[in-house]
Every structure is written in C-alpha cells, then in structure tokens.
Amino acid sequence: MEQEKISRKGFHAFIVLTAAALLLAADQVTKYFVLQYLKPIGAIPVIPGFLEFSYTENTGAAFGLFKGHIWFVVLVTLVASAVIIVLLFRYRNHSFFSYATSALILAGGFGNLVDRFLYGYVVDFIHVLFFDYIFNFADCCITVSAVLFVIHVLFCTREEKKEMGKTHGDQA
C-alpha cells in the first residue's frame, strides 16, 4: 500500500515536471519568434488601443526590480526551483492547485533563467496598454502560479489543518 502511494507520487511528480518542460518550451518558442520577427520592427498592434507586442530587454526581475543584480535573481530562482522540486516529492497533501503551481513556477522561472544565461536579459514583449509593464509568457506562468498557490493554501490545506488538530487532540 505504501509502495503504491510512493509510485503514484512519483508519477504525479513526473507529470508536473513534464508539464513544466512543455511550458518552458512554449516560452522559448515564443521568444525565438519575438527575436526573429518582432525585434527588428519593435512593436505590432494586436488589438488596437488594448494589446500590442512590443520588444523589450529586461535586465532586472519582475517590474524591472533588481536591475544590475542578475546573479541575485539567478540565485533566488535556482534556490526556489530546488525547494519546489524537493517539495514535489516530499509534500504529502498535494492538490491539483499545488501541482499546477509547481509546473507553472518552474516553467516561468526557468524560462526567464534561460534568457538571462543566453542573452544577459529577459525577452519581454506582451504589452497590455493600460498596464505600464511589458512581460512574457514565463511571467504569465509565474503570475498564474501565484494565484493557484493562494487557492491551494486557502482551500486545500483546511483538511490538512483539521487532520493535524485531530492528531494533536488525540495525544492529549
């Protein structure tokens, strides 16, 4: 029975890592096309007055934070990714939301990390015109992962807390 749980957990972790790899590939493919076709012209309106693709090189982190401190951003990304991978195998109460969070944050983190290593900056290109910042697919993955993580914590850990209360209550 315990062996079945371990193999199921390993299978779920494999699925999460595969999903992260596919999302990372999607991010890198979009950036390849941006570098080939958008960089030479700068910007293309997609939905006039609302959305455009606009080539930008971001040497910082989200919202341009930590410009000039690329190694700090790289270190934080690597440490966070290692923690997520360890928790993927060790955390006992995964939900769809925690698995999805893991895949998205790994894909987004590594997507931007690949850019930093290859170019020294992150390729950004999505510009919603009422929002001052320009971002990319990896950033979208990271943002959605944050929302899913909050959902997991708020709604999926209640059972875990109840079980912990019962266990501690039984010991008294």
62-88 residue pLDDT tens: 766 777 778 888 999 999 999 999 999
DSSP class of residue 36 equals I
pLDDT digits (tens, 9 = 90+) for 34-72: 999 999 999 999 999 999 999 999 988 776 677 777 888
Region class of 60: left (phi > 0), else alpha (psi between -120 and 50), else beta: beta
Q: Among 108, 114, 116, 103, which residue's Cα sits nearest to residue 143? A: 108
pLDDT digits (tens, 9 = 90+) for 103-158: 999 999 999 999 999 999 999 999 999 999 999 999 999 999 999 999 989 988 76
Cα separation, 132 vs 125, whole angstroms = 12
Q: What is the mean pLDDT of residues 15-29?
A: 98
What's the predicted TM-score (pTM) here? 0.83
Active-site entry in 27, 115, 124, 132 = 124
Place of tokens 């062996």: 3
Active-site entry in 27, 115, 132, 139 = 139
Please confirm, yes or no, whether 115 is among the known catalytic residues: no
Please confirm, yes or no, whether 139 is among the known catalytic residues: yes
Cα separation, 130 vs 142, whole angstroms = 20
Does residue 91 have a pLDDT over 90? no
